[in-house]
A and B are shown apart, each in its own frame.
Chain A
């Protein structure tokens, strides 16, 4: 779990930075827990694949993972309204890529710290999935950690799918 916490830290710090700078609010992370099912906790999810290599004892090993953010619709709409500096009342195509942009920025920022930790991650294009009770297909051989996040606009969840490299 400590290896997992170390991997998730740059993502948590990244999303806090995004919220402070571009959503104009503080974001409080809760206690991380291991997720045992595939179902999304929210209605709208922004997903970023993480593919690359990690250096273990001088050797590059293939690495795969996934970073995602999932929101209930009302929380998503409030966050999108704050970030875009205009009021929205429902989920529509004007705000559909807000979550993906947040995921993109967070991953870009986390990448710098992860590079220092020996990870060489290729930035993928983020995607958005919507619908109540949607499920994810996590990369095989990975463990998923969930970090609850809380701000003035409501609560949502960050998930990080991680492949241990110390096996």
Chain B
């Protein structure tokens, strides 16, 4: 799976601050096609609609803890659908406990990033996902 700067990315987070920071970091890495959503429940129809229109999202960066639909529930929902079983999914969380990593890995997460993080760490996580 290659890493192209034009890939369609959706950043999902209930906090506008973190959406802005992640989008800014992605832009400094050269990514240009970035959309935002404020929780899993908002993002899911956007992801499905984009697929139906033939312009699917190619990378998801989602927070874990969100009202409505959490990042974990979104991940499980997507992985249950064959067309999204390989969609790269980076989970962002404030909770640095090992148990969370295990839960996310079992649910099929592509990689995991714990807040606070730098642009360099985000880039490293993305590179790992797309090199795999």
Residues of A within 8 A of B (CB): 17-18, 21-22, 80, 83-86, 94-95, 97-98, 100-101, 104-105, 107-109, 111-112, 115, 123, 125
| Partner of B21 from A83, A111, A112, A115 at Cβ < 8 Å | A83
| Partner of A21 from B16, B24, B118 at Cβ < 8 Å | B118
Most central of B21, B97, B115, B118 by chain A CB within 10 Å: B115
Per-residue contact bits, chain B 51-89, to A (CB 8 Å; 1 contact, 0 not)? 000000000000001010000000000000000000000
Main secondary structure of the interface of A (DSSP, over half): helix
Contact, CB under 8 Å: A123 / B15: no
Contact, CB under 8 Å: A111 / B16: no
Main secondary structure of the interface of B (DSSP, over half): loop
Most central of B20, B24, B65 by chain A CB within 10 Å: B20
| Partner of B18 from A17, A95, A101, A123 at Cβ < 8 Å | A101
Residues of B within 8 A of A (CB-CB), count: 19
Residues of B within 8 A of A (CB): 15-18, 20-21, 24, 65, 67, 93-97, 114-118
